Amino acid sequence: MILRLFTLFLFVVVGTSALLADEPAMVSSPNGEISVTVSADSDRLYYEVSYKGKPVLAPSRLGFRLSEADGFDDGLSITGAAETSGDETWTLPWGERETVRNHFNELKVTVTEQKGPKRYLNVIFRVFDDGLGFRYDVPADSGFGKIGITDEITEFAFAEEARVWWMPARWWNRYEYVYNETQLHQVPMAHTPITMRRDDGLHISVHEAALTNYSGMSLEKSHATTFKANLAPGPDGVKVRQEGAFVTPWRTIQIAEAATGLLNSNLILNLNEPNKLGDVSWVQPGKYVGIWWGMHLGVESWGSGPIHGATTENTKRYIDFAAKYGFDGVLVEGWNEGWDGDWFHNGDVFNFTKPYPDYDFDELGQYARERGVRIIGHHETSGSVTNYENQMADSFALFAKNGIAQVKTGYVAHAGDIKRLDEDGNAVYEWHDGQFMSQHHERVLIEAAKHKISINAHEPIKDTGLRRTYPNWLAREGARGQEYNAWGSPGNPPSHTAVLPYTRMLSGPMDFTPGIFDLLFEEAQPNDRVRTTLAKQLSLYVVIYSPIQMAADLPENYEARLDAFQFIRDVPTDWSESIALNGEIGEYVTFARKAKGSEDWFLGSLTNEEARTLSVKLDFLTPGQAYKAEIYRDGPDADWDTNPYAMVIESRKVTAADALDLPLAPGGGMAVRFTPAK
């Protein structure tokens, strides 16, 4: 694969002005619709944001409080402002689309203390047509030196009430909650992305981009509809430690009139640094199956014993299945020693180079290779990160020798229970989204890249678009995935996957693991089930973007429904274009995506508990070209609750001039493949 990086790059310095102290500075988006004003009022620093002249954020404070030094939040003056703009088109090695336009106006505001040591920093605002990002930039000669940030003062004073979709932050289950839908003033503290819709229809989503060497930001209510940044603390309460020059992650605010405007935005990727890894042709998107769902259903085990899943024989069965049906990978969990006993709490005993005796590591590597399939490695750490860091280089080397090019990592531990040994060997505990973990994940990516290995992290730190910088960060979990349907009692509600696109998915790809065909599994887990129709399971392959998609069910359940399975076999995971065609948060969504290197288009649409018939124009197809549409839709009487398997599979001729009806059952969905007709 040829890596095309910058196809066009243009940076224009528009103007640098030595402002009179405290004169407000202003910048607008290229289309002029979004404006940001930065001002110092009563010696405090504020920014405000408007859209088409209407306030989005009322004046909101900026600044820091520090340990062992005065804060940088009072007695401040604006001492400089410089405006630049950029317009470039860059290429993704894999993704929802091939090229991305990065078009913005930037304002760099210099802020200086009036008294004392006259420390200074810059706040950089980048304003796009689809929102903005801003970050603090602390230069080497800023006078800060070595600091501990005890509080980032950054505020988000939302100008209006709104309906908001959010999940609690700093709770034990990390990012794995069903989203709440409330009024904005009812949110106590939330993870990002947090997404809202105002009464005037404006959609706003707050998140961050390029979270490296810093703590994750949550939004905490301070009063009414005003929120402030709340950073995950380190073990001593200090939130971030820095020395010398540094930048914070970008605080991002996506703004769109339609809900789909959020889905079609590239803001977060645009605010990340370009690929640092050079040639990444070894990073391969694809589809996989694996020894996985059986453990969640309780019919197989990770640990050794009579129902051990990762045996040589069982793995061969999966490799054969993958080879027969055209899958790239076979995930094998429970291959290594350490799972016996209470693996949730025994992370220190995981060994990442020692297979169980009934798992023949070398033989299976060869067996897979001969059949054109790759084994996907697995590293469950149970949150014992020092134990993992001590072994990861050896394990990646062992994997690479065996043809393994992808590793799923896992950090099953309560949030705040990441175990690290300090310099003296004492155990200290970190948050999954704290500064230490942001550094840890980067260390894993860099080490993995040395071995041409890509990473899919479960129980990760949230995604902030770092896949642009490290394209070997293929996917992550970081939300309630399919697994909750096996043991979540009652699992994910039908609306869950209608909320995810507008919240979690704004941050990046998710390893949701779709494709459960036996929706009731009455023998294995009689109290649980999947609360979707069968057609909706297919729609997830298009709706929930990931460059790696699992066919998560057991092979026998696919062989029992080869007609529906055909869609999973056909659907790609790498796209040249993606378009959100329609949608409302928590209700429904429809995506069309074009397969990379092909003229095929795919469509996925899903709904919450409500039945509805949507209609979409097929004008994304090439005009004048006839297409065969292979449609997988809910049957007329389908219902996730009472009749989940009712599905119609049909074929039709269509063109770009047609509209297509999407009849969705309660908890239902639809999947379509369009191929040019001869």
Name the DSSP class of 643. Answer: B
Diameter over CA atoms, the chain: 77
Q: How many residues does the chain have?
A: 678
Shortest Å distance, C-beta 392 to ligand NOJ: 16
Shortest Å distance, C-beta 513 to ligand NOJ: 7
Shortest Å distance, C-beta 479 to ligand NOJ: 10
Of 171 and 343, which has the nearer Cβ to ligand NOJ?
A: 343
Of 297 and 664, which has the nearer Cβ to ligand NOJ?
A: 297
Catalytic residue, chosen from 483, 556, 577, 587, is: 483
Q: Which of 496, 460, 609, 515 lies closest to 177, judged by CA?
A: 496
Q: What is the distance of C-alpha 197 from the center of its chain?
A: 21
Cis peptide bond N-terminal to 139, omega within 30: no
380 binds, among ligand NOJ, Ca ion, none (CB under 5 to 8 A by kind): ligand NOJ
Residues that bind Ca ion (CB under 5 A): 458
Instruction: Measure the CA dihedral 183/186/192/193, to 10°.
Output: -10
333 binds, among ligand NOJ, Ca ion, none (CB under 5 to 8 A by kind): ligand NOJ
Cis peptide bond N-terminal to 233, omega within 30: no
Q: Which residues touch 577 (CB under 8 Å, ≥6 apart)?
A: 96, 97, 98, 593, 594, 620
Query: What is the token pair recorded at 16?
Result: 């640098």
Of 83 and 553, which has the nearer Cβ to ligand NOJ?
A: 553
Query: What is the token pair recorded at 609?
Result: 């508990």
Of 127 and 453, which has the nearer Cβ to ligand NOJ?
A: 453
Please state the φ and ψ torsions of residue 157, each to the nearest 5 degrees: -90, 85
Residues that bind ligand NOJ (CB under 6 A): 292, 333, 380, 410, 412, 458, 477, 483
Please state the φ and ψ torsions of residue 113, each to the nearest 5 degrees: -70, 140
Residue environment code for 529-558, b if the CB has 16+ CB neighbours within 10 A, otherwise e: bbbbbbbbbbbbbbbbbbbbbbbbbbbebb
Catalytic residue list contains 483: yes
C-alpha span between 382 and 346 (Å, rounded) = 7
Locus of tokens 């505990």: 429
410 binds, among Ca ion, ligand NOJ, none (CB under 5 to 8 A by kind): ligand NOJ
Of 119 and 174, which has the nearer Cβ to Ca ion?
A: 174
Angle between helices 534-543 and 562-570 (to 10 degrees): 0
C-alpha span between 452 and 404 (Å, rounded) = 9
Query: What is the token pair recorded at 53?
Result: 């002249």
Shortest Å distance, C-beta 408 to ligand NOJ: 7
Shortest Å distance, C-beta 412 to ligand NOJ: 5
Shortest Å distance, C-beta 458 to ligand NOJ: 4
574 binds, among Ca ion, ligand NOJ, none (CB under 5 to 8 A by kind): none
Of 249 and 309, which has the nearer Cβ to ligand NOJ?
A: 309
- Catalytic site positions: 483
